[in-house]
Amino acid sequence: MSLSVVILAAGKGTRMKSSLPKVLHTIADKPMVEHVIDAARFLDAENIYLVYGFGGDILKAKVTGDDLTFVEQKEQLGTGHAVDMASPHLKDDENVLVLYGDVPLTRVSTLERLIAAKPDNGMSLLTVTVDNPTGYGRIVRDYGQVVGIVEQKDASQEQLLIQEINSGILYANGADLKRWLSNLSNDNAQGEYYLTDIIAACHAEGKLIETAHPDIAIETEGANDRVQLATLERAFQLREAEHLMIQGASLRDPHRIDIRGKLVIGQEVKIDINCIFEGEVVLADGVKVGANCILKDCTIGEFAEIKPNTIIDGAVIGDQCSVGPFARIRPDSVMNRNSHVGNFVEMKKSTLGEGSKSGHLTYLGDANIGKNVNIGAGTITCNYDGANKSQTIIADEAFIGSNSSLVAPVYVGENATIGAGSVIAKDVEKEQLAVARGKQRNIEGWQRPTKK
């Protein structure tokens, strides 16, 4: 039987104190609702219906996909009313999963457990037992069987003692769900149409209500303010850290890592504190990442070492390379095997050949550098003339002296040497020495300026 997913995303999120719809606030740099959509996609949902209200235009601009159908809830009259907005789209002969756009940490495995729990004649409900159920709808059972849900404001003193609570996430047949929704009443303390009332309706028809449970309670928690959002962020990051450690990574402190995309690791990877991984990052076997590094959309080769406070963005770092500390490797840069850049070296759209090194205080922009080249401290490839970018080519085994400026376009040949402090604006051929300095003058009796 086919699956459709209804995601409730109409809340304004007043307590967020924001102009954004609540579901667009991010966990790991991705809107909460996108985490929920991703889960629906993993389940191979045939249709995904996104019920929106406040900030609909912003939501549609931020969240896209051919498999998404946006359904407007013009008036926020409760969760039952929200799901009912999608009823015209739902088919009788399909099953429907109801999710929440501000509950981003529910695992796919938990949802699969919920789906498997559904009886042929009835529905399944995701519940969780907590120490403090205040504010949540309580699961009411009779001889172990679920017979209904009572909301906090409508609960009796006895019902308030129940610790099994409703997550709101449920799975039911399309025809059943539409029938139950059409009969909802708003005769309650809130004057709203509660989705939870369909549980009692299901029981009244003699149908079964089975429950499934998440591995940890945080899977069912939402974010109504920025404090709760931060709690979910830390829970997400700790879960990602645990996954890395299970795969064999060594983390200096699992509580101080941020993964904001997809991180793929090999064996014997070591990651120090306060590292951020964005986009798609691959760390091969034996990679070491020092403290306070930011790695974005990059590939790091085997046994490479990324030293502390280094930023790598859109680059490829080869096997056994050494980068940093305090280096910045910008997009379209490639460091080949066993090459090295040190502190305060920046590369942009450049290639550093095998065994080549640039130890300190250097800018390499639009440069193609061969094998075993030495780049002295303070070297600059002057790649921009104010209108156009030009390339610097440095052949194998060249030696670039400290504090040199290579004015592109320029070529430095194999085994050539550039004397320290030179400004090179003309090609230097193979094995030549180029020295381009102004004539030194030593002036006797020079008086330094004094402060006026």
Summarised one tens digit per residue, pLDDT across range 345-366 is 999 999 999 999 999 999 999 9
pLDDT at residue number 328: 98
Q: Would the annotation count 374 as a binding residue? A: yes
Confidence of residue 193 (pLDDT cuts 50, 70, 90): very high
Give ranges for CATH 3.90.550.10 in the chain: 3-220
Summarised one tens digit per residue, pLDDT across range 26-74 is 999 999 999 999 999 999 999 999 999 989 999 999 999 999 999 999 9
Measure the CA–CA gap between 359 and 326, rounded to whole angstroms.
Answer: 11
Least confident of 177-181, 208-212, 438-442: 438-442
Summarised one tens digit per residue, pLDDT across range 141-179 is 999 999 999 988 889 999 999 999 999 999 999 999 999
Q: Would the annotation count 224 as a binding residue? A: yes
pLDDT at residue number 22: 95
Measure the CA–CA gap between 220 and 102, rounded to whole angstroms.
Answer: 10
Give the architecture-level CATH label for domain 243-434.
3 Solenoid (2.160)
pLDDT at residue number 76: 87
Measure the CA–CA gap between 364 and 316, rounded to whole angstroms.
Answer: 15
Q: Would the annotation count 175 as a binding residue? A: no
pLDDT at residue number 165: 95
pLDDT at residue number 260: 97
Q: Would the annotation count 166 as a binding residue? A: yes
Measure the CA–CA gap between 197 and 186, rounded to whole angstroms.
Answer: 10
pLDDT at residue number 351: 98
Confidence of residue 191 (pLDDT cuts 50, 70, 90): confident
Buried b / exposed e along 212-232 (16+ C-beta atoms within 10 A): bbbeeebbbbbbebeeebeeb
Summarised one tens digit per residue, pLDDT across range 72-82 is 999 889 999 99
Give ranges for CATH 2.160.10.10 in the chain: 243-434
What is the percentage of the chain residues whose pLDDT exceeds 90? Answer: 92
Reply yes or no on whether the pLDDT at 189 is more than 80: no
Mean local confidence (pLDDT), 264-292: 98
Q: Which two tokens stand for residue 380?
A: 């600059």
Question: What does the angle CA 218 – CA 138 – CA 31 come to, to the nearest 5 degrees?
Answer: 35
Provide the CA 239 distance to its chain's centre, in angstroms.
Answer: 13
What is the percentage of the chain residues whose pLDDT exceeds 70? Answer: 100
pLDDT at residue number 154: 87
In contact, 167 and 126? CB cutoff 8 Å = yes
Q: Would the annotation count 40 as a binding residue? A: no
On the 0-12 / 13-18 / 19+ scale of CB atoms within 10 A, 385 is: exposed
pLDDT at residue number 11: 86
pTM of the full predicted structure?
Answer: 0.91
State which CATH number among 3.40.50.150, 3.90.220.20, 3.90.550.10, 3.40.1280.10 fits the domain covering 3-220.
Answer: 3.90.550.10
* Residue of 25, 35, 340, 360 with catalytic role: 360
Q: Would the annotation count 193 as a binding residue? A: no
Work out the mean pLDDT of the chain and round it to a whole number: 96
> What are the φ and ψ backbone dihedral angles of 89, each rounded to 5 degrees?
-90, -20
Measure the CA–CA gap between 43 and 2, rounded to whole angstroms.
Answer: 11
Reply yes or no on whether the pLDDT at 413 is more than 80: yes
pLDDT at residue number 265: 98
End-to-end Cα, the chain, rounded Å: 88
Mean local confidence (pLDDT), 221-232: 96
Let me know if 340 is a catalytic residue: no
Q: Which two tokens stand for residue 23?
A: 């579901």
Mean local confidence (pLDDT), 178-200: 91
Buried b / exposed e along 235-261 (16+ C-beta atoms within 10 A): bbbebbbeebeeeebebeebebbbbbb
Reply yes or no on whether the pLDDT at 12 is more than 90: no
Reply yes or no on whether the pLDDT at 119 is more than 90: yes
> What are the φ and ψ backbone dihedral angles of 209, each rounded to 5 degrees?
-120, 110
